[in-house]
Structure 1
Amino acid sequence: MNGPRTHVERAGGVTTVRVILTNDRSTPQTVRLRSELDGPVWPPQRNGVVDAHWTDGVWEATIQPGRNRGVGFASPAPPVDPPVSVVATERHDADAPDRSPDAVLADLDDWRPTSEVLDNEP
Structure 2
Amino acid sequence: MSIQPRSRDTFIQLVIRRRSTRTGEPTVFLRAVPETAQKPTRAQLAARITLGEVSRNTKGRRGFTYDPETGKPLPGSAVAVKLAMKGEKYSTRRKTAKWERVLREYFRQQGIDVSIEELRKTLYTYLESK
Q: For this structure pair, what is the TM-score category when the shorter chain's length is used for normalisation?
A: under 0.3
* Structure with the bigger percentage of strand: 1
* Structure with the bigger percentage of helix: 2
Work out which of the two has the higher radius of gyration on C-alpha atoms and give 1 or 2.
2
Larger relative contact order (C-alpha < 8 A, sep ≥ 6)?
A: 1
TM-score, length basis structure 1: 0.22
